[in-house]
Amino acid sequence: MVRKRLITVLTFNDGVLFRTRNFFPDYRYTANFVDTWSVDEIVLLDITRPGEGARENFYAVLEEFAAKCFVPLTAGGGVRGLEDFQILLSLGADKILINTAAVEEPDLIRRAAYRYGSQCVMVGIDALRRSDGRYETRTHFGARPTGLDPAAWAARAAALGAGEILVQSIDRDGTLEGYDNELNRFVSEAVDIPVLVCGGAGKWMDFVDGFTKGGASAVCTTNIYHFTESSISSAKRFLRNANINVR
Predicted confidence (pLDDT) at residue 35 exceeds the cutoff of 90: no
191 or 222: whose pLDDT is higher? 191
pLDDT digits (tens, 9 = 90+) for 61-95: 999 999 988 899 999 999 999 999 999 999 999 99
Query: Among residues of the chain, what percentage have pLDDT more than 90?
Result: 72
Average pLDDT over residues 112-130: 97
pLDDT of residue 36: 44
**Closest listed residue to residue 167, CA positions, set 140, 133, 136:** 136
Task: Look at residue 153 and tell me whether its pLDDT is greater than 90.
Answer: yes
Strand 144-145 to 135-139 pairing: antiparallel
SS3 at position 70:
coil
Do residues 7 and 42 make contact, with C-beta atoms less than 8 angstroms apart?
yes
How deeply is 54 buried, as exposed, middle or buried, from its count of CB atoms within 10 A (0-12, 13-18, 19+)? Answer: exposed
What's the mean pLDDT when you consider all of the chain? 90
pLDDT in tens, 99-119: 999 999 999 999 999 999 999
DSSP string of 36-57, one letter each residue: T---SEEEEEE-PPTTSS-HHH
Instruction: Flag the least confident range among 119-128, 147-156, 223-232.
Output: 223-232
**CA angle 12–170–4, rounded 5-degree value:** 80
Which residue segments constitute the domains of the chain, with CATH numbers given?
5-241 (3.20.20.70)
In angstroms, the CA 146 to CA 103 distance is 8
Percent of the chain with pLDDT over 70: 89
For range 211-239, the mean pLDDT: 80
pLDDT for residue 40 is more than 70: yes
User: Is pLDDT of 24 > 70?
Assistant: no
What is the rounded distance in angstroms from the CA atom of residue 213 to the CA atom of residue 183? Answer: 10
C-alpha closest to that of 13 among 47, 42, 43, 44: 47
Q: Which of 110, 209, 210 is nearest to 168 (CA)?
A: 210
β strands within the chain, DSSP E? 5-13, 16-21, 24-28, 41-46, 73-76, 95-98, 121-129, 135-139, 144-145, 164-169, 195-198, 218-221
